[in-house]
Structure 1
Amino acid sequence: MFALYNPPIKQIKRWSRKMKVLTMKCMKCEKEYPEAADRYVCDDCGIDGILDIVYDYSSIKISREEIAASKNYSLWRYRKMLPVADTTDIPPLQVGWTPLYRARSVEKLLELDNVYIKDDGRNPTASLKDRASAVGIAKAREAGAKTICAASTGNAASSLAGFAASAGLKTVIFVPKRAPRAKVAQLLVYGAKTVIVDDTYDRAFELSVEITKKFGLYNRNCAYNPFLVEGKKTVAYEMWEQMGFDLPDRVYVSIGDGCITSGIYKGFYDLMQLGLTNRMPRIIGVQAAGCNPVEVALKTGEFVAQDGNTIADSIAVGIPRNRLKAMRALKNSNGDCISVTDDEIRSALLEMPRATGVFGEPAGVTAFAGFKKHALAKDIGTTEKVVVLITGNGLKDIESAISVCTMPAPVASDSATIEAHVKTLI
């Protein structure tokens, strides 16, 4: 535990000259703003005008050798590529450097040569959202914040609560009434001031922005605060490094607000601009059929808000707030967005852990369901290198896991009965 550090004005100015950020540019009208830790959206475009962090890549000197030599096995091994000052206190929880597994059983089953599972459920609060929270807490410190606000379907909320607790900061968090009990329990255990909104995630998001402005809080919403995507991009750096400084041909990822998709693209884009790679992997977004506004927009060119009806609560987002960046990621990577049914997601809840040993929540295995759908349709080349990104651990929504299993009935404890019963199992 460490105390909140409030940096003096003069030091913030000195830091700004050291930073690698050129500007913050509106994704909608392209208006530019100087970097500020508490600058969120465009003044002219409002909440739809989320900003993009634009770097001066010539100012960043980094090599494969330097990265490989690092003994910091967390996302901070890439600190030179993040918009966080060298002197900023970072939260103590170790986040990132999650395992990348070769899925040989899946390769054999689907007749593919190179399939990998990136398990981001291994982060401190069990989801990829910890990458964003780590950077968000650092930026909150730079802004001199004491209380942080956010809205979430569950994972971002529990992530913020955990990281804020580790840094001695307060939180006010809004979650929709459908948030899984396990995720709400995490918030309460971490001491977050939790507001369960009797409405959808989209309304919870709107309320969090209103409260941020009303009470002068620091906002952690990844689809509102542009610095959060910069934390999520580190998962792309890790894929590259863990594959021997090589790139996958395609990455499958579930889409809700579109922030993780945006982060993957930003990470691979950074690597190209730094001269560390020379191509962009295809990013394949996967949505639930009951909530697929990004898929519809990519195919029709028109965005239409939806209700968000799916078992995969983490991606039940009818109004993706980071849709502009997500659409850029899919288009510029020559990617695609597909959807899978809730039945396909339920099947993946069992199929993926039984084939890989990795336990994912519904939103996490949605990416695997989409990958399997493409594989069975022969839309993936046999020799393509494929990474399926699992964004959250299955324990985040244990009720969904239980719903697809048959719980065994108790068996009498005498040896004869047990032996007879085991014979039926083997």
Structure 2
Amino acid sequence: MAERYMLRCVLCGASPKVEARVYTCPRCGLDGTLDVCYDMSALRGRVTGETFEASGRRDLWRYESLLPVAARTSIPPLQVGWTPLYASAKLAETYGVAEVHVKDEGRNPTASLKDRASAVGVAKALDFEQKAIACASTGNAASSLAGFSAVADLPCYIFVPERAPAAKVAQLLVYGATVVLVRGNYAVAFDLATWAIERFGWYNRNCAINPYLVEGKKTCGLEIAEQLAWRMPHRIFISVGDGCCISGLYKAFRDLVDLGLIDTLPRLVGVQAEGCAPVAEAFDAGAERVTFRSGDTLADSIAVGAPRNWAKALRAVRESRGDMVRVTDGEILSAMTELARTAGVFGEPAGVTAFAGFRKMALAGKIGRDERVVIVVTGNGLKDVDSARKAVPEPILVEPDPEDLLRKLGNIAR
């Protein structure tokens, strides 16, 4: 199969051969995650904003020229991407920022940004003629893979921590995935999945290992550029778990700079939960690598104490002159209700963590009044209803009687 790209290790720069089971650098092991690199000198001038618009597509495949999929027949038939980017005048006024835009990734087919990665991952599995696909996940990547595998008629095996939200596990089972609940945290599930993938010869969908998955996630950044009519945001806030989503944004804007479509990278701000913030700790300490450690947060999708894509995540923040922010679980819960009541976007805990980070920086006076800001909400609030219920008061229970209604509504009704 002739490829339009090459692979390059982010640590040592080696370029291993493009093969189905080549995921990381043979020299550097699991830490040696790979970039997918295109011949930008050949694409510059041929791939433009007009190229994307001329495709007529309103999904991530409008960026087909910047994606590593070989055969169009490999593309799963689900509409992914081109999610709304809402301008919120209320948030801009409240926090003293020129523009605030909210990117709602909960509008994807299985309700998270992970659908972008799974679309490309399943397509690559079919490109490489793989017979089954597998991953470890805290929930969203799992449900995403299950949905895309179902429409591609590709058997999938998914390893999730036992504490994964019931709604996410239900999605997996409905889509027909073989689900393995692992007693332990994400790191334990990841290690067991890695063993099983090697043992049974499944295609590896783990985004922090498989380089093609970040290419799917980068389409979120490409859309932001287009949706803002190429007026680049000054900062983009996004939650960080394994490090793949922020790596995808970096790759998007790096590709656009290399194509000559933009001049500079937006500042990328990664937001982690205080109880599980290994990437933020490494960034704050100026460390060359991330130290894996146990951690805990109600934001299950970013409860990753051993972020496998740490090298790309640190590069994304540092090379974009960005920052890392830590927020408490309490700040995440309050962010769920505030974002829903101001911008109308209902995000799960990990999804609104980005907003919690924006709010914290803005209140600390660390964002300029003339700045244009984008907040990426990575998953829908219905993914974790139990957490949402913790953020709100109980509903009012009444008898089917007008007098009881009047008595209990009290001064609320108006």
Do the two structures share a fold, i.e. TM-score over 0.5?
yes
Q: 1:273 aligns with which of 246, 255, 258?
A: 258
Q: 2:22 aligns with which of 17, 39, 45?
A: 39
Q: 1:333 aligns with which of 320, 323, 335?
A: 320
Q: Which residue of 2 aligns with 1:193?
A: 178
Gaps of 5+ in 2: none
Q: Which residue of 1 aligns with 2:336?
A: 349
SS of alignment partner, residue 41 of structure 1:
coil
SS of alignment partner, residue 33 of structure 2:
strand
Q: Deviations over 1:7-55 (max 9, x none)?
A: xxxxx2xx32xx2x1x211222222113234320112222122111121
1:55 is the counterpart of 2:38:
yes
Q: Which residue of 2 aligns with 1:417?
A: 404
State the TM-score, normalizing by the size of structure 2.
Answer: 0.96
Q: Which amino acid aligns with 1:388?
A: I
SS of alignment partner, residue 398 of structure 1:
helix
1:372-387 matches, cutoff 5 A = 372-387=359-374
Q: Which amino acid aligns with 2:11?
A: K
Q: Which residue of 1 aligns with 2:194?
A: 209
Q: What CA distance in whole angstroms lies between the structure 1 residues aligned with 2:98 and 2:409?
A: 37
Q: What CA distance in whole angstroms lies between the structure 1 residues aligned with 2:162 and 2:348?
A: 18
Q: Which amino acid aligns with 1:233?
A: K
Q: What CA distance in whole angstroms lies between the structure 2 residues aligned with 1:331 and 1:245?
A: 23
Q: What CA distance in whole angstroms lies between the structure 1 residues aligned with 2:21 and 2:75?
A: 17
SS of alignment partner, residue 183 of structure 1:
helix
Q: Deviations over 1:241-270 (max 9, x none)?
A: 000122111100000000000000000000
Q: Which residue of 2 aligns with 1:96?
A: 81
Q: What CA distance in whole angstroms lies between the structure 2 residues aligned with 1:78 and 1:54?
A: 15
Q: Which residue of 2 aligns with 1:184?
A: 169
Two-structure CA RMSD over aligned residues (Å): 1.3
Q: What CA distance in whole angstroms lies between the structure 2 residues aligned with 1:227 and 1:70?
A: 22
SS of alignment partner, residue 387 of structure 1:
strand
Deviation at 1:391, TM superposition (A): 0.2
Q: Which amino acid aligns with 1:160?
A: L
Q: 1:301 aligns with which of 286, 290, 309?
A: 286
Q: What CA distance in whole angstroms lies between the structure 2 residues aligned with 1:44 and 1:86?
A: 30
Residues 109 and 46 (structure 1 numbering): CA distance in 2 closer, same or farther, change over 3 Å? same
* Bigger Cα displacement from structure 2, 27-36 vs 159-168: 27-36
Deviation at 1:352, TM superposition (A): 0.9
1:167 is the counterpart of 2:152:
yes
Q: What CA distance in whole angstroms lies between the structure 2 residues aligned with 1:372 and 1:416?
A: 42
Q: Which residue of 2 aligns with 1:319?
A: 306
Q: 1:290 aligns with which of 275, 280, 287?
A: 275
1:211-226 matches, cutoff 5 A = 211-226=196-211
Deviation at 1:155, TM superposition (A): 0.3
Q: What CA distance in whole angstroms lies between the structure 2 residues aligned with 1:191 and 1:89?
A: 20
Aligned residues: 409
Residues 264 and 50 (structure 1 numbering): CA distance in 2 closer, same or farther, change over 3 Å? same
* Bigger Cα displacement from structure 2, 149-158 vs 86-95: 86-95
CA contact (8 A) 2:104 2:377 kept: yes
Q: Which residue of 2 aligns with 1:6?
A: none
Q: Which residue of 2 aligns with 1:30?
A: 13
Q: What CA distance in whole angstroms lies between the structure 2 residues aligned with 1:240 and 1:394?
A: 25
SS of alignment partner, residue 376 of structure 2:
strand
Q: What CA distance in whole angstroms lies between the structure 1 residues aligned with 2:10 and 2:214?
A: 14
CA contact (8 A) 2:53 2:62 kept: no
Q: Which amino acid aligns with 2:42?
A: S
Deviation at 1:58, TM superposition (A): 2.1
Q: What CA distance in whole angstroms lies between the structure 1 residues aligned with 2:389 and 2:373?
A: 29
The 4+ residue runs of structure 1 with deviation greater than 6 A are none
Q: What CA distance in whole angstroms lies between the structure 1 residues aligned with 2:9 and 2:96?
A: 44
Identity level (%): 53
Q: What CA distance in whole angstroms lies between the structure 1 residues aligned with 2:334 and 2:293?
A: 24
Residues 348 and 186 (structure 1 numbering): CA distance in 2 closer, same or farther, change over 3 Å? same
Q: 1:391 aligns with which of 378, 383, 394?
A: 378
Deviation at 1:375, TM superposition (A): 0.6
Q: 1:111 aligns with which of 96, 103, 108?
A: 96
Q: Which residue of 1 aligns with 2:225?
A: 240
Q: What CA distance in whole angstroms lies between the structure 1 residues aligned with 2:311 and 2:265?
A: 19
Q: What CA distance in whole angstroms lies between the structure 2 residues aligned with 1:307 and 1:43?
A: 27
CA contact (8 A) 1:38 1:143 kept: no
SS of alignment partner, residue 53 of structure 1:
strand
SS of alignment partner, residue 233 of structure 1:
helix
State the TM-score, normalizing by the size of structure 1.
Answer: 0.94
Q: Which residue of 2 aligns with 1:150?
A: 135
CA contact (8 A) 1:119 1:389 kept: yes
Q: Deviations over 1:304-335 (max 9, x none)?
A: 22212111111010011000000110010000
Deviation at 1:65, TM superposition (A): 1.7
